[in-house]
Amino acid sequence: MLPPQTIAKLLALGLVAIFSVYLLKITNQTTQAADGSASHPYRVMLIPADGGTEDGTRADFKPVFDAITQTTDIHFDIKVGQSYATVIEAICSDVVEIAWFGAASYLPAKQRGCAELLAVDVKDNSSSYFSGIYARKESNILTVSDIQGHSIAFGDPNSTSSFVYPVAMIVDAGLDPINDLKQIRITGSHANSLKALSEGQVDVAAASFDSFEKAINQGIIDANAVVVIGKSAPIPNPPLTMSTKLPKEVKAKLRLAFKNVHKSANISPEMIRGYGGNQVDRYDTVITDDILAPALVVISNVTSDMRSAILAKANK
């Protein structure tokens, strides 16, 4: 009988192997290094933050990458990860060169030395958005503290606005998310959580306001059947990032391209999109990790032990 530590190590190695096979599959087992050419485009992977599907989130960002291609002849192959963890591992395993993260998913990639900031979208001189907690009107839940004894849907456990900030709001309301909630569901995306709320599978759901408004506009949520019971402090917009291993000249070219994409000829304002698929004014490339400092304070309050306990409750 192998000791538990050895078994755990073997299981971990097995998971890494399985994950590596998956990453190879999603890149078509390409061995040729990407160089931004049409035949070997830079590989982009996006967190499944909104649409939660290849067609949803990819469609949000394809216009701006197409615009960059038109002005620079740099080509991109855009994919959406199956989970936030997939995107973190993809850039840290050199499977992709560009990734789109929330603050909570960027942090571990940065700490591993895999990713650095490229650009963040700006609209009306703002680069922030909000997380929310929403309840079915028929549940008579009016405040965050009222959700005690009710069920809730979170998105991905690495999501800033569909997990970390909502959990922090619940704690701030004086509740223990593990013991005071009746049931927890981890749906994997904002859209899935809002769909679960709409279908009555849960009493409460957590998602960004952008995703909430998009769900209303798409008819997934009936605005008259749902109430907003919690709104977060401003959250730094999810940043586009690039591999730290890219050559300096490539990094500089990408930053310049995103900085000027809104000024390019033959590019309409409607092509410049950002978080949630919303039209934005421009991209800011003069950014540092300081812009994420407010989010990192909130993230640090949702400890890894708390996250693990929430996931364990969701798996019961």
Superfamily of domain 42-127+237-285: Periplasmic binding protein-like II (3.40.190.10)
Q: What is the pLDDT of residue 19?
A: 52
Angstrom distances, CA of residue 108 to CA of 29, 101, 299: 25, 10, 11
- How many C-beta neighbours within 10 Å does residue 7 have? 11
SS3 of residue 1 by DSSP: coil
Helix H or strand E encompassing 42: strand 42-46
Average pLDDT on 106-116 reads: 94
Domain ranges of the chain: 42-127+237-285, 128-235+298-315
User: Which among 36, 155, 170, 171 has a CA at the least distance from the CA of 102?
Assistant: 155
Helix, strand, or coil (residue 150): coil
Give me the pLDDT at residue 54, please: 63
pLDDT in tens, 28-80: 545 468 999 999 999 999 988 765 556 777 888 888 999 899 889 999 999 99
Three-state DSSP at 213 gives: helix
Which of 3.40.190.10, 3.40.640.10, 2.40.160.150, 3.30.420.40 is the CATH number of 128-235+298-315?
A: 3.40.190.10
- Distances 51 to 5, 63, 84, 277 between C-alpha atoms, Å: 39, 16, 13, 9
CA-to-CA distance for 241 and 120, rounded, in angstroms?
A: 9
